[in-house]
Structure formats: structure tokens, C-alpha cells
């Protein structure tokens, strides 16, 4: 069983920016070797790898369509060749397209389904086949599934599917010594989240938690670090990481 952080290997999908980058950098700081996955922005992935290696960590950039089985088979092969195995998979990759249900473009629904649901499923399927004993799968959900903000119906539905997948998979892995959990962030100050929002909207969101601020990517990464390493008795859980909004 490989539970020593200095010998663990993590794959972070969507690891080139925002929460994904914070997660990749935190796991590397914990001593894990990290494969930083990106879909289209190689420059940002290379920047994340450089930040990790400059700080004394080990990292490589890997690419592929998370919803494509052949791509992910090749990606996992690459990570295993480079680092000798895989212990942790963190599914941060996802997209969020917002619209009231009445006017939602169904193509947007299909896009979110393919990335958020199928992508998480395909990557998790490879993880189940490859992770070493003592491993961890950390999926990404959303606090919006409980907050019920207008315009988030399709996105929340896709993450509701991730919740169900997480809870069932944890039970399917009985006897494997692999944990499966999901992190469900609340409003978090990433460039993607802040884009297009006026100052009043951001201020209102920041006042929602009792801590009276937006989450930071590092706040989310801290929880992932716990689930990806020492949290061997936390399994089959959705961890709402939102400063106490709900």
C-alpha cells in the first residue's frame, strides 16, 4: 500500500488553471509527483509544471479529451511510464454554461453532459483499473446543487450525476483500499468565476458565507490535499467546501 506522500503519484485533470492549478501545486508541495492534464491550453499547463519544478517538485504536462476512452487510456499509460504508477486521480476538469432552463440551448446541455459526466466517468474508469492500493479518487461537484441558484439547473444536474457516481463507486471498490469522494466548492475567486460579474454581484456572493469572503483556489486545494493523502477513513462523501453557506 502506497500512502507515503513522497512516493505518491497524482493525475489532476483540468490542472492548468484556476482550482486545478492550485490543486496540482498543493499536491506537489505535499510531495506527490503530479501529471498536469490540459485540454487546449498547453502554455498554461507548462507554466503550472514550471511552477512546480521550480519549487522542487516533480511534474509533467499531459493532454487529451477526458471524454474519449482512447485518449485517456494513452494518457494513463504515459503517466505510468513516467512515474511508475498512479495513486491519486483528481477530476477538476469541467465546464459551466448557464441559462434558465426554459431558454437553455440543448447543445450546451450536451456539452456539459459530455465533459462533466462522461469525462468524469471515463477518467474514473481508468482510475479504477489502475490505482494502487491506498489510492484516492477525488471528483468535483458543486455547492450549487444545494444552493439552487437560478440559471444553474443544467450545470447542477451534471454535478448531481457526479455525486451519484461518487457514492456508488466508493461502494463498488469494497476491499480495494481506494477511497472515492467529491469536493463541492461554493463561489470561488477564479478568473472564470469572476469574469462577467459586476462588483455588486461579487460583493453579494462574498457576504453569503459566515466568513464573509469568496473562497480561494487554495481553500479548495487544501481539502483535496486531505482527501488525496491522510484521509484514509473518509470515503463515499460529498464535502461541501464553501465557508459555511450551507
Q: Which residues are catalytic?
A: 155
Beta-bridge mates of residue 37: 62
- The CA angle 14-160-117, to the nearest 5 degrees, is 45
- Using CA atoms, how far residue 190 sits from 74, 187, 193, 203, 225, in Å, is 30, 9, 5, 15, 19
C-alpha to C-alpha distance for 225 and 102, rounded to whole angstroms: 39
**Rg of the chain in Å (alpha carbons):** 17
The number of residues making up the chain comes to: 246
Is residue 109 left, alpha or beta, with left meaning phi > 0 and alpha meaning psi from -120 to 50?
A: alpha
Amino acid at each position: 500500500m502506497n500512502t507515503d506522500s513522497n512516493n505518491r503519484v497524482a493525475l489532476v485533470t483540468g490542472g492548468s488553471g484556476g482550482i486545478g492549478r492550485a490543486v496540482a501545486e498543493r499536491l506537489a508541495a505535499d510531495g506527490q509527483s503530479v501529471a498536469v492534464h490540459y485540454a487546449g491550453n498547453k502554455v498554461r499547463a507548462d507554466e503550472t509544471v514550471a511552477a512546480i519544478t521550480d519549487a522542487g517538485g516533480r511534474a509533467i504536462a499531459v493532454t487529451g479529451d477526458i471524454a474519449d476512452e482512447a485518449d485517456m487510456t494513452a494518457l494513463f499509460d504515459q503517466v505510468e511510464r513516467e512515474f511508475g504508477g498512479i495513486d491519486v486521480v483528481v477530476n477538476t476538469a469541467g465546464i459551466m454554461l448557464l441559462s434558465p432552463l426554459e431558454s437553455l440551448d440543448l447543445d450546451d446541455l450536451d456539452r456539459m453532459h459530455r465533459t462533466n459526466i462522461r469525462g468524469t466517468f471515463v477518467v474514473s474508469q481508468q482510475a479504477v483499473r489502475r490505482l494502487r492500493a491506498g489510492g484516492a479518487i477525488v471528483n468535483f461537484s458543486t455547492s450549487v446543487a444545494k444552493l439552487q441558484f437560478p440559471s444553474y439547473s443544467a450545470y447542477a444536474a451534471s454535478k448531481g450525476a457526479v455525486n451519484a457516481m461518487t457514492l456508488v463507486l466508493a461502494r463498488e471498490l469494497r476491499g480495494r483500499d481506494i477511497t472515492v469522494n467529491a469536493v463541492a466548492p461554493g463561489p470561488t475567486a477564479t478568473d472564470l468565476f469572476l469574469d462577467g460579474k459586476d462588483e455588486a454581484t461579487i460583493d453579494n456572493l462574498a457576504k453569503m458565507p459566515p466568513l464573509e469572503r469568496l473562497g480561494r483556489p487554495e481553500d479548495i486545494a487544501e481539502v483535496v490535499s486531505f482527501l488525496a493523502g491522510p484521509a484514509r477513513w473518509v470515503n463515499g462523501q460529498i464535502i461541501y467546501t464553501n465557508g459555511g453557506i450551507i
